[in-house]
Amino acid sequence: MRVLIVEDEKDLAMILSEILEMEGYYTDVVHDGVSGLDNALSDIYDIIILDVMLPRMDGIRVLSEIRKSSIGTPVLMLTAKSEVEDKVCGLDNGADDYLTKPFNTKELLARIRALLRRKEKVIIDENLKFADIILDKYTHQICKGDQKVKLTKKEYDIIELLILNYGKVISKEELTVKIWGYDADIEYNSIEVYISFLRKKLGAINSRVNISTVRGLGYTIKGEKDE
């Protein structure tokens, strides 16, 4: 795991780097926004720790440039206590989490681990990205690189719901209610048919995304094929 630290307080940057390296992460440290953006655009990082107040380019701008370049690396923003408004602004610009300075080491490490777990799920330009696919909310296509497959509206709604609930099992009942509503006259068997169409379509673009059946419970989406 490689972490980019963009922090102009050199002592803090050094401490962060030491803590993370002790935990087994590789780190690169830069002290200004322009260098931070340059490094981030290489897209080699698993996570970016980004201070808000930075020389040459502030953290909010750096983040928005990163997202404009369709780089989905999770970003943990660091804000000073007085910069509460920056938090909101940072999250609007595509930050995945923020931490107020001063913070304790345990808290930092816990946030980083949580972000790495969520890494598969990132929203870019309103389209949902998950593992190797991007869902286009307007055309209802799923794309993997330049391979594309068109979904029906219901298929799109189902895969979107599964991705937004990544890590959880969604029951057939829940799927039915959320997609068709309470009064819907739909057989549970139909859900199975929709899921099997979705699996075929994922297969058609050679995606590693997999909708698993959890016997007796429902469905869950994974970023890799079952063993």
Given the rule CB under 5 A, which residues bind Ca ion?
Answer: 8, 51, 53
Nearest distance, CB of residue 97 and Ca ion, angstroms: 18
User: Phi and psi for 74 in degrees, rounded to 5?
Assistant: -60, 140
What is the spatial distance between Cα 50 and Cα 86, in angstroms, rounded to a whole number? 12
Nearest distance, CB of residue 93 and Ca ion, angstroms: 17
Nearest distance, CB of residue 42 and Ca ion, angstroms: 22
User: Which residue, 51 or 65, is less far from Ca ion as judged by CB?
Assistant: 51
Nearest distance, CB of residue 51 and Ca ion, angstroms: 4
Contacts of 67 (CB under 8 A, 6+ apart): 93, 94, 124, 125
Query: Residue 69 in 3-state DSSP?
Result: coil
Nearest distance, CB of residue 9 and Ca ion, angstroms: 6
Residue closest to Ca ion, measured at CB: 53
User: Which residue, 51 or 120, is less far from Ca ion as judged by CB?
Assistant: 51
User: Which residue, 8 or 174, is less far from Ca ion as judged by CB?
Assistant: 8
Q: DSSP for 134-194?
A: EEETTTTEEEETTEEEE--HHHHHHHHHHHHTTTS-B-HHHHHHHHH-TT----HHHHHHH
User: Which residue, 75 or 159, is less far from Ca ion as judged by CB?
Assistant: 75
Could you tell me if residue 102 is left (phi over 0), alpha (psi between -120 and 50 degrees) or otherwise beta? beta
What is the spatial distance between Cα 131 and Cα 7, in angstroms, rounded to a whole number? 29
Identity of residue 108: L
Nearest distance, CB of residue 31 and Ca ion, angstroms: 9
User: Which residue, 12 or 164, is less far from Ca ion as judged by CB?
Assistant: 12
User: Which residue, 8 or 160, is less far from Ca ion as judged by CB?
Assistant: 8
Q: In what order do the strands lie in the sheet with 47-51?
A: 26-30, 2-6, 47-51, 75-80, 97-101
